[in-house]
Chains A and B, each alone.
Chain A
Amino acid sequence: MEPLKVVVAGPVGAGKSTLIRTLSETAVVDTDALASEDIGKPTTTVAMDYGTIHLGDQLLYLFGTPGQDRFDFMWDVLSEGALGLLLLIRGDKPEDFVPARRLLDYLTSRQPVPYVLGVTRQDQPPVWGPEEVAPFFGVPLERVVGINAKNPQSAAKPLIRLVELIAAEEAAS
């Protein structure tokens, strides 16, 4: 069966690399470099993160993009042929909502791409949850899932929701 691909995007520090590491069965291939700016951690993704999930004879690839705007050329490269998009945002950093929204708008306004928003750090209150985040982004609540990127079941939820929504659309058409 043809392998499937899901892109994991979002601002710096949202938890993309963490999510992929949590879900991936193979060691994650990353392309980290030393951060020259203060982003709250020592390294940052400059090309992509790559992980895989084997489900019987179906292979699912997870591609994580770099977070900074200057790497926007990678968003298009990595989104090519993707089944859908997972956009992660840190629930405890509302100042990142604006760049995250700009990214969501860019990725979804030009080509039809199924998407789900994952709001991370739900295990570390005080934190914004899906009900608060959905109206800011102008997306239906069913497309927003709260998660803890380090927990496998929690991390799988936005992926499952994404595939649920795609399956529902498939069934309807």
Chain B
Amino acid sequence: MSLDDLLPFLSSRDGALEIFNLKRLPRVTLYFRAGRLHCIYLGNKPVDSLQARSVIGELIEARKGSFEFIPGARPAACSRPLGWPVDRMLISVTTTYDEYAQVADQLPHPETVFTLTHIAVPDDTRISDFWKRSYIYLQEGASAQKLSQKLGMPLDHCRFYLHKLRQLGAVAPARATAQQKKKPQRAGVAARLLSSLKKRFFGEENAWSR
């Protein structure tokens, strides 16, 4: 049985859905109240809205797991309730996953470093959450690998969001152009090499310049 099958039942109940025996996640607890997903706990800690999206996505992808519903259960603490309407939750998350499957082979290498351009991100909730959280790291340049560590999110999700941000023009790959400290004997090497190459292939030093 998958999460999507359970959601209609959950949209009319108050309580906690505990999901365990998952391959890629520790115990997940989803707290429902008045037709909304109120809070998500991963292990015994509540997650923020960005991580929450990832967790729901992973739950949908998970093929095996056990679950238990505890009517009336409430979270110990929920500083920032998600308030996601249950019936709309699924649509927004699965759309992301369909898109993801289509662009999986276009995603940047996990270690490619991205920096900010001067273009801001419009307030599309899905992207702007990630944008706000990753902003400080992107300012100094960050790869999907680094963001995955700092934000506590799966690597592939970070690659996907960087891909979307790049499409929006908000980030671009850093072209590392810091001047390397050149070894003394390397100075002038390129100039000499240049004239040798031109002579070799074009017969004269001043051939084919830009």
**Of A2, A153, A164, which contacts B201 at CB under 8 A?**
A153
Complex contact B200–A167 (CB within 8 A)? no
**Of B107, B108, B177, B197, which contacts A156 at CB under 8 A?**
B197
Complex contact B176–A108 (CB within 8 A)? yes
Complex contact B175–A108 (CB within 8 A)? yes
Interface of A, helix, strand, loop or mixed by DSSP: helix
Complex contact B112–A106 (CB within 8 A)? yes
With contacts A4-B189, A102-B108, A170-B188 known, is A163 near B197, CB below 8 A? Answer: yes
User: For B187, what are the chain A residues with a Cβ–Cβ distance below 8 Å?
Assistant: 170
**Of A4, A109, A112, A157, which contacts B112 at CB under 8 A?**
A109
- Residues of chain A in range 128-168 having any CB-CB distance to chain B below 8 Å: 138, 142, 152-153, 156-157, 159-161, 163-164, 166-167
Complex contact A156–B201 (CB within 8 A)? yes
**Of B105, B141, B177, B194, which contacts A112 at CB under 8 A?**
B177
Complex contact B196–A160 (CB within 8 A)? no
Contact residues on A (Cβ < 8 Å of other chain), bracket:
35 or more
Complex contact A109–B198 (CB within 8 A)? no
Interface status of B1 (Cβ within 8 A of chain A): no
Which segment of A37-45, A55-63, A119-127 sits at the interface?
Answer: A55-63
B174-210 to A contact mask, C-beta < 8 Å, 1/0: 1111111010010111111110111011100000111
Complex contact B192–A160 (CB within 8 A)? no
Complex contact B173–A142 (CB within 8 A)? no
Binding site for B on A (CB under 8 A): 2, 4, 53, 55-56, 58, 60, 72, 83, 98-99, 102-106, 108-113, 138, 142, 152-153, 156-157, 159-161, 163-164, 166-167, 169-171, 173
Binding site for A on B (CB under 8 A): 105-109, 111-114, 141, 143, 172-180, 182, 185, 187-194, 196-198, 200-202, 208-210
8 contacts between A and B (CB under 8 A): A2-B185, A105-B109, A106-B108, A109-B113, A109-B176, A110-B143, A138-B172, A156-B201
